[in-house]
Amino acid sequence: MSKKQTWCSVRATKRQAPSGRAHTRLADIELRQFKNSIFQVVTPDGPRVFLPRKYAHDLKKYTRHEASGMKALADVSFPPAHVVRQQVDRSQRHIGNYTTIDHESDIMLGAIKIDLNRNLGTFVGDVEQEVAHCFQTQFPSCNEWTPIDLHDKLLRVVAQASARIFVGYPMCRNEEWLDCSTSFAMDAMNGGEKLKQWHPYLRPVAQWFVPEMRRIRGDHRHALALFLPELERRAAKAGDSDVVPQNDMIEWMIERARNTGDKSFDSKELANLQVLTATAAIHTTRLAIIHTLYDLAARPEYVQPLREEILEVTRDSNGILQKQHLTQMKKLDSFMKETQRHSPPSVATFQRKAMIPIDLSDGSHFPAGTILQCNTNMLEEAPAVWGDPYAFDGFRFYKLRSKPEDANKFQFASPSYDSMQFGFGNDACPGRFFASNQIKIILAYILTHYDIKFEEGVVGRPKNFMFEVNVLADPTKMVLFKKIG
Ligand code: HEM
């Protein structure tokens, strides 16, 4: 690793997470002190290099095979020689080879990036229907102020609404599938953490003693068992000219495999890809909605203008959502983006493992194996025209879009150098347009059916907490819901 710049190496501290699990808290490191320099954090998962945001321009030119996002998440880093042996042994993040998340697929990526995005407009009504069904069947009546565990309830809403497009109707209401598709992520994360406590030489055996690791295998087997009858049902109807073929991600994946002649694609692979797609989609979207509702409950002055906007744009269709309505909800879009600016999914994006040596424009050189990421959550680095960078201004982006030449900029789903929460460049999150729609549909439902506020004793917006570089909403705070009218 060449040291053209002054390097700082800091050790992240280990804390006890609310769940009881030890975790590394990067907030304990004075990030601001190093924000304009390249520094390395020695974490329990191995060393990780943090780059100032400007280097995203340099990383952008490396392909996904040269600088891999998946390997940065799942894989081992190769620490420099001065890092103690113990770290070398433990330097794996989510040990993807055991947790099965280390699985990249052109079929899955194409189905999200191309097919899902192409079909977005056609699904607004379906998703709205699923969201309404979920609130009607899963939520208490809320005739009086009722505490709602958002982390729990929204998991179900997002899972079912996403499943409507990923696996179609009726499978999107199959309790076993919803359970399987939501629990896999927790099993992979918790199982990975537990298995990491074992020496690498012992892990092939130790995996059988970690309950979550056994469940991961069970999740995959269970997913296949649920998909087989669904595929048979579809096959039985295939020849029937009276039956409209389903339009969902199951079909897109099968079609892609057929067109590319991918011989490795079978029912088992389809079930695995569906589990992985649900994992990428559900937890990120749920968290974004929770953060937004926390900001709304803490700032009730925004509720009425947002509600009015929703009612106004849907007036022509008696309140039934259509695809153009989502684009017209500019205040809601702005509020969601401002929430994401203050509560991003992570303080570092563009996480990459160098699969080949990486050279930055200033001459810094990183050998293959280094794990790099860009430091992206610097509120004060917002462009001056955005106004006070620290203030929460829910309509900040709405106002910025009022200039005709900027009408299509600053949208929630538009990544830019100043908004990297979905990543940046060609490999930015392919599901962001879908996520934007889902979040709007769910928030529009909540805003037009309920009043919300925090439980007694919560003053202001509850502080987020960190797990590694991830920003999480405080799960101990309850939001109360009350039906309108
Ligand atoms: C608010 C919700 C979401 C957030 C904040 C989010 C954020 C991100 C981020 C930061 C990345 C990494 C980008 C990079 O490395 O440059 C990513 C990747 C990814 N996201 Fe999302 N995401 C969200 C929703 C979704 C949804 C709904 C889907 C699926 C429909 C999805 C599928 C993926 C996939 C497959 C990748 C990996 C892409 C690749 O390997 O190139 N995400 N997401």
Whether 1 is in a domain gets the answer no
pLDDT at 14: 45
Closest CA to 345 of 464, 437, 188: 464
Measured from the Cα of 434, ligand 1's closest atom is 27
91 found inside a domain: yes
Predicted local distance difference test score (pLDDT) of residue 282: 93
Is 227 within 8 Å of 267 (Cβ atoms)?
A: yes
Burial 5-42 (b: 16+ CB within 10 A, else e): eeeeebebeeeebeeeeebbbbeebebeebeeebbbbb
Whole-number pLDDT of residue 92: 56
The pLDDT of residue 24:
44
In a domain, 412, yes or no: yes
Q: Is residue 187 part of a domain?
A: yes
CB of 111 shorter than 6 A to ligand 1: no
State residue 31's pLDDT score. 64
CA nearest ligand 1 atom 20, residue: 429
Label each residue of 414-471 as H, E or C. CCECCECECECCCCCCCCHHHHHHHHHHHHHHHHHHEEEEECCCCCCCCCCEEEECEE
Q: Which residues of 385-418 are buried (b: 16+ CB within 10 A; e: fewer)?
A: ebeeeeebbbbbbbebbeeeeeeeebbbbbbeee
Q: Which domain holds residue 46?
A: 8-483
Q: In angstroms, what is the span from residue 456 Cα to ligand 1's centroid?
A: 35
User: Is 429 labelled a binding residue?
Assistant: yes
| Nearest alpha carbon, ligand 1 atom 1 | 285
Query: Does any domain span residue 163?
Result: yes
Ligand 1 pocket, residue 288 CB under 6 Å: yes
- Nearest C-alpha to atom 38 of ligand 1 is from which residue? 429
Q: Is the CB of 284 under 6 A from ligand 1?
A: yes
Atom of ligand 1 nearest to the CA of 436: 1
327 assigned to some structural domain: yes
Which pLDDT score, from 0 to 100, does residue 34 have? 74
Residue 394 lies in a domain: yes
Residue 428 near ligand 1, beta carbon < 6 Å: yes
In ligand 1, the atom with minimum distance to the C-alpha of 69 is 15
What is the C-alpha to C-alpha distance for residues 101 and 196, in angstroms, rounded to an integer?
15
pLDDT score for 230: 96
Rounded to the nearest angstrom, the distance between the alpha carbon of 202 and the centre of ligand 1 is: 33
Please report, in tens digits, the pLDDT of each residue of the chain (485 residues total). 444 444 445 554 444 433 333 344 454 455 667 778 899 888 777 788 999 999 999 999 999 999 999 888 776 544 443 333 334 334 455 666 777 777 889 999 999 999 999 999 899 999 999 999 999 999 999 999 999 999 999 999 999 999 999 999 999 999 999 999 998 878 887 877 788 777 778 888 888 888 888 888 888 899 999 999 999 999 998 878 787 889 999 999 999 999 999 988 999 999 999 999 999 999 999 999 999 999 999 999 999 999 999 999 999 888 789 999 999 999 999 999 999 999 999 988 889 999 999 999 999 999 999 999 998 877 888 999 999 999 999 999 999 999 999 999 999 999 999 999 999 988 999 999 999 999 999 999 999 999 999 999 999 999 999 888 889 999 999 999 999 97
Could you tell me the distance, in angstroms and rounded to a whole number, from the CA of residue 430 to the centre of ligand 1?
6
* CB-ligand 1 contact for 344 (6 Å cutoff): no
3 part of a folded domain: no
Q: Number of structural domains, the chain?
A: 1
Ligand 1, closest atom to CA 109?
35
Distance between Cα 101 and ligand 1 center (Å):
14
Residue 462 in tokens: 């509850």
CATH code, 143: 1.10.630.10
pLDDT value, residue 370: 92
151 Cα: distance to centroid of ligand 1 (angstroms): 19
Decide: 431 in ligand 1 pocket, CB within 6 A: yes
pLDDT at 331: 98
